[in-house]
Chain A
Amino acid sequence: MDLTPIFYQIFIGLYRASIYWLIASGLTIIFGVLRVVNFSQAVFLILGGYLAYTFYYGFTGSFWLSILLASLCVGIIGVAIEFFLLKPLYKIDVTYQLLMTFAVSLIINDATKILWGKLPVSIPLPETLGIGVSILGRTYPLYIILMILIGLLIYVSITILINRTMWGLRVRATWRRPEIAESIGINTSIIYTSVFFLGGFVAGLGGSLMVAFSPVAPGLGDFLIVSAFIVTVIAGLGHLTGAYIASIIIGVSESLFTLYVPEVDLLLIYLIMALSLLIRPQGILGER
């Protein structure tokens, strides 16, 4: 039996997984540190795509520069949202922060319609990325390989940032016990803000890279946030490695279901979530 179609389908699934991961990673660290489920995380991704479009056509004309600028901008927008809209709410019930992130996602969604119109936008893929790499007689598009590698790179970088740096130590302290972290002199306020920057930057990077292949459109965030939530639920909220593995599980199984059971592929994703909630309610790598 020729296995290359299956490998190819898994390869496409890993690309999908990468996009989910770039949303879910931000969702996970923000939840871990701030205990806020950031509904606007998928909209950050969409915003990254739109900003890359504006930078590309409006200013730079350079693919890579547009991506860098767009990611930074989304990071800064994340900081602004945290500083102006969420900080005032930390003292009251966490539900209000949840509602606020939901409001932010609705506002950004509608703002994109006003700023960029109702039609999907995209930027051209640079020619250097438009080529295919031949592996065992099958051509794999370089762009898709790159997206998968960037997903992995982001996973490795965030893990190193959190486990091996001083900033990471502070984040971990805040993650575990914010009160104690504060009592030993950690400025949790800065930690919160920087975590939001990181979440925004990663989502912005995902969106701006994605827009060269799949256009961004108003309302696309609603589709993506559902899958990203499924990922974090399977992972166990606030667990980074779990979220990376869960992204791959969801991306690859979505893809394989399409190959083998196209009639019910959507249903099966929810089935995986339901099963994982029943068998491991704490998430695949979660404790408790």
Chain B
Amino acid sequence: MVSEERRSLLKMIGAGVAGLVVGIAGGLALAPEKVREIPKTTTITQTITKTETPVAKLPKDTIRIGVLGIRSGTWATYGTLIEQGARLAMEEINAAGGILGSKIELSIRDEAADVVKQARELVEQEKVDFLVGVDSSGNAMKLGPIMPELNRIVIFTHAATHRVNEELVYKQGIKHIFRISVPVYQDGILAAWIAKDLPVRKWAGINPDYEYGRVSWDFFKTTLKALRPDAEFVSEQWNPSPGTTDFTKWISAIMATDAEGLFTTNWAVEAITFHRQAMELGFYKKIKAVFNPMGYSMDVAYGLGKDYPKLEHGMWVSGRYVWFYPPTDVNKRFVDACVKRWGRLPAYSTETTYSAIYMIKAAIEKVGTLDLDALIKAMENMVLITPAGVRWIRPQDHQAVYEIPYGKISGETINVGGDVPVLTDVRAVPAFLYYRSPPDYKMPIG
């Protein structure tokens, strides 16, 4: 009874102080570690947390996790989103007794300040046991190859290049790398699966001129051409990124063609600017359908709000997780916790990082030790029930297989700390069907 009362008191104080801190600190909107909300349920994995005597005690009573995200420059928000996911998971797990009795501690670093150096310092000086996060594909490709030398597991939660799972893990056999977020298969391949059914034949692309934009556009073109041979690609434009604030010349160049559909992987604030300028120039009077794979990232959704253009054959958007899908209790609980804590619907990298921390928990609880090889074995083939749905960690390439839908901007919005466009005509395809697969993994169908 006493404990119950103390808890609810703590909870109230916690919420109050957290609210104050969030209000005052603005950009640094994170409550100090002492201020915790205490959630009622924490088990989101298949493993059942035992609150009594743990089966196995770990050799140390804190598990340190290094969190890497972009914390400076144009994409600085994304580092914060990663941090939110890590913090929420840490707070929940610690409040429920930790991992086999050991508490989680986070060390947060800016990957934009030389990711390799930051990771080395995290491992060598701060003695972290795991690394999670990483926003940039370029940084993932730099960090991945040194993981065996650092002798730690890294779980990527945002960087999307397929080269991470296809080259680093599958071809080079670096077993220390896992990825819990969806790769560019979502951006390029799934978009084409949906685009093939639209009454649009001539497509154009305006994409950021680096790995992510190039690869996604390439996947989109090849997949769509294979699924629908009459598709034509009439123009491709590349904008520098980060740094483009004026898209006019690329937009008008596409307007000069007879394109009916547009594929753009511009994301974050560049996506917001792009859509606004496209509207001003009357671009969406001409273009009938748009695919913007990261267009339902929450910063873009909140940024455009009611102004998010709605098109004749659809403004199709997605993310690496979208807050309403799937409508499970696990997801609802997660969304509620984020709304309560930060006043907004969760961004995808918040979910992926949150789930990554739970993946670490599940692996440690399964093997009862911090032995690296045992943990890698435990993570391979693991099935996790997470807010984004059931994730299966494919053993061949350590890639989480799970589905995320695309949907059309409906014109309606809901208000959760700001206007968020509601999606309609939500379409998902089982990830097993559209993911690229390692050669020795075969679907048992023709």
Contact = CB atoms under 8 A, between A and B. Distances in A.
Interface residues of B, number: 27
Contact of B280 (A125, A216, A259): A125
B248 A15 contact: yes
A223 B282 CA distance: 26
A116 B255 CA distance: 34
B365 to A, nearest CB: 39
B430 interface: no
A258 B246 contact: no
Contact of A132 (B238, B243, B249, B282): B282
Contacts of A176: none
A215 B273 contact: yes
A143 interface: yes
B280 A141 contact: yes
Contacts of B249: 9, 12-13, 16, 254-255, 258-259
Contacts of B73: 118, 218-219
Mostly helix, strand, loop or mixed at chain B's interface?
Answer: mixed
Nearest to B257: A5
Nearest to A132: B282
A217 B245 contact: yes
A132 to B, nearest CB: 6
A143 B280 contact: yes
B76 A258 contact: no
B349 to A, nearest CB: 16
Interface residues of A, number: 38
A221 B119 CA distance: 31
B253 A9 contact: yes
A141 B235 CA distance: 23
Contacts of A255: 249, 252-253
A262 B253 contact: yes
A120 interface: yes
A259 B253 CA distance: 5
A118 B76 contact: yes
B250 A258 contact: yes
A117 interface: yes
Contacts of B273: 120, 122, 214-215
Given A119-B269, A217-B245, A258-B237, A9 B277 contact: no
Interface of B: 27, 72-74, 76-77, 235-238, 240, 243, 245-246, 248-250, 252-253, 255-256, 269, 273, 277, 280-282
12 contacts: A6-B256, A8-B255, A9-B256, A13-B249, A139-B282, A141-B282, A213-B280, A214-B273, A220-B243, A258-B237, A259-B253, A262-B238
